[in-house]
Structure 1
Amino acid sequence: MNDDDLPAEALLALAYRECRQIAATHGRTYFLATRLLSAERRPAVHALYAFARMVDDIVDRTGQPGAADGGGTPGRGPAEELDLIERELRGALEPRTHATTGSPRAANPVSTHTGEAGAPPRTLILAAVTDTIRRYDIAAQHFWTFLDSMRMDVPGAPVFRNRYATMAELHEYMRGSAAAIGLQLLPVLGTVAPVSEAEPAAAALGEAFQLTNFLRDVAEDLDRDRIYLPADALAAFGVDDDLLFECRRTGRTDPRVRRALAHLIAVNRGLYRRAEPGIALLEPRVRPAIRTATTLYADILRHIERSDYAVFDHRAVVPRHHRLRVAAIEFTTATLRDGFQR
């Protein structure tokens, strides 16, 4: 059998394995949390993660047109790659952008596959995410909103922005880049109330995760000439671009920056508080996974504080033993709760 003869079902299995590997390699916190989900839900979460990771990697390749990472197409820059991905995903979802639940055979993967021996990662990811969208009836608009937000990170794009004057501007960006991902996940996780009731909390949790990333990765973002912390909040503590770049150069956190980071961590924790009631709206069996992800991500903020806000010389990481302990506690609690309820 040659590559082109690979059955659609076999290609889909390969596609989900590729997404699982991406999640295991790059999204350690999320991957650990997905282990608390039922087996049938995990592949969909891996597919959504892999799609977001692929797009993020393309954006981060700015200035490196045609890089092969993620199956990039030679000669195309990031903006063109995002346009191509949107066209391919729209084409794969046609004639319906809101499809019904079905088996893997019903979810036609993207038609550009080359088979198990040579299918590029992008083709596999798109095949898996197309199946996930159809299987769980996820609104396709969440993906277009996400891609629109990612274009804001691409120099030369009409909507490009690498500075944010206010928290309101940052929320506009996060609405597509993070909140949309939370909304993509909701149908996969399942809810005990109408999905619309759970959407505000899911969006808040997505934003909480992303703001945590911005606080953790401030040094890496400066290296790309990006500042995702709102200028007005920084200015209130006497912090401007020059001071941030000086901190990056020296690896030392200026006291003014330390105070600004403490303030933004408090804002971040407010987002986690807004999201927390939404966990009770999820199906009981998925709640431990979301609690685990929430606890572990929020712990990044605690590690930033414990390091005395030393975000310019190292990246705050939650130790593996702590991640495992939190997951074990959530799993045990959920098991005991199920036992008592029965």
Structure 2
Amino acid sequence: MNTDERSVWGSEDVSSGKDAGDENFPVGSLLISRRLRPHVHAYYDFARVIDDIVDTDRLDAQAKIARLNAMEDVVMDRRQAPQRRDAQTAVRVGRTLRQTGVSPATATDLIVAFRQDAVKNRYDSWEELEEYCRYSANPVGRFLLELHGEDPRTFGPSDALCTALQVLNHLQDCADDLRNLDRCYLPRPWLEREGVQVDDLRRTHTVPGLRLVFDALLDRVDMLNRQAATLPGLIRDRRMRMEAAVIVGLSKRLAARLRAEDPIAGRVKLSRGDVLLALARATCTLL
């Protein structure tokens, strides 16, 4: 590897070592066919690493974008990657895309979102946030659906579900995102309308105006979840249908928890009971 390549890749692996167990909604769960699980894990590992690249404090914005561009080149088979865990995730996801015929955009669109994260830390409208989710979250659902050979009619409700999940994650992590990354996804005009500001996320609890902003975002999430509710009925693969039904149920339950609990005081999480209930309700999709 020449000097220019070393300067792009850097001298250290930036992957966090997190796995699917660290997420709200497990990727590649036992509901996914054993045959397809390795492809799902390859995709998840790649997504985790590029997320780590943009969130690390060891790289400046320019270096993050250069590293993300290099990962994209590897996915598209335009350059070689060093023998490091983080870089090799791009090799594996590129191989998965070529073997399965899934659209490369399901991987490269994630990079679009993370390049934006490297330089943008505030949002000025719901539309801006929704556009971010188009690249940061929606490709995940489309990857799974394409991998299972599902009809493109499933993409609309899947996009709604993935956007809902992304906004829920932003609400869960709003205080940590500001404290650790100086990043806030809450639309600034919504904060101004309720007489609060971004720095109110640094408090120990949610003030009334901020609660109104959270609830307004949850209203949008509820609309998205209603659109997403049609997704399981459109999926042919029985295992994938149940996976989708479980995630729709969990999305609704997490939205309800975020209405009732304070994400500033502590991270709002799903309980084991929430998961079991979602599984029980999802079995109806198999009848």
State the TM bucket, normalised to the shorter chain.
0.7 to 0.9
> How do 1:1-342 and structure 2 match up within 5 A?
23-27=19-23, 29-31=25-27, 34-61=29-56, 63-65=57-59, 77-91=63-77, 112=81, 114=83, 120-154=84-118, 160-191=119-150, 193=151, 195=152, 197-223=153-179, 224-241=181-198, 245-248=199-202, 250-285=203-238, 286-307=240-261, 310-330=262-282, 332-333=283-284, 337=287
Aligned partner letter, 1:30: P
CA distance in 2 between partners of 1:199 and 1:312 (Å): 33
- Aligned equivalents of 1:161, 1:113: Cα separation in 2: 29
Kindly state the Cα deviation for residue 334 of structure 1 after the two structures are TM-superposed.
5.3
> What does residue 100 of structure 1 align with?
none
- The superposition leaves residues 16-64 of structure 1 with CA deviations (integer Å, 9 ceiling, x where unpaired) of xxxxx95433235224x72112211222222222211111111110x31
**Residue deviations 1:209-250, cap 9 Å, x none?**
101111111101111211101122233322222xxx2342x3
Pairwise CA distance, 1:256: 0.9
CA RMSD across the alignment: 2.5
Separation (CA, whole Å) in 1 of partners of 2:46 and 2:252: 23
* SS at 2:58 equivalent: coil
Instruction: Using the TM superposition, name which of 122-131 and 277-286 deviates more.
Output: 122-131
* Cα distance in structure 1, aligned partners of 2:81 and 2:106: 23
Whether the 8 Å contact between 2:40 and 2:144 is mirrored in structure 1 is yes
* Distance (Å, rounded) in 2 between the aligned partners of 1:173 and 1:324: 31
- Structure 1 gap segments, 5+ residues each: 1-20, 67-75, 95-109, 115-119, 155-159, 338-342
Q: Tell me, yes or no, if the aligned pair for 1:64 and 1:77 is still in contact at 8 Å.
A: no
What is the Cα deviation at residue 314 of structure 1? 0.8
The 1:28/1:247 distance shift into structure 2, 3 A limit, reads closer
Following superposition, the deviation at residue 326 of structure 1 comes to: 2.7
Indicate conservation of the 8 Å contact 1:189/1:282, yes or no: no
Count of aligned residue pairs for this structure pair = 269
Match of 1:37, SS?
coil
- With normalisation by structure 1, the TM-score equals 0.71
Q: Distance in 2 between matches of 1:112 and 1:163?
A: 33
**Per-residue deviation, 1:325:** 4.3
- Between structure 1 and structure 2, the one with the greater Rg is 1
1:272-294 deviation per Cα after TM superposition (whole angstroms, max 9, x unaligned): 11222232221241111111122
Report the AA paired with residue 73 of structure 2: R
Q: How far 1:320 sits from its partner (Å)?
A: 2.6
TM-score in terms of structure 2 length: 0.84
User: Unpaired runs of 5+ in structure 2?
Assistant: 1-16
Counterparts of 1:81 and 1:60, CA distance in 2: 12
Query: 1:18 aligns to what?
Result: none
Check whether the contact 1:145–1:180 (CA below 8 A) recurs between aligned residues: yes
Q: Percent identity of the aligned residues? A: 27
Contact 1:190–1:282 (8 Å) recurs in 2? no
Query: 2:228, 2:248 within 8 Å by CA — same for their partners in 1?
Result: no
Cα offset, 1:318, TM superposition: 0.6
Aligned partners of 1:237, 1:295: CA distance in 2, in Å? 30
Partner Cα distance (2:256, 2:80) in 1 = 46
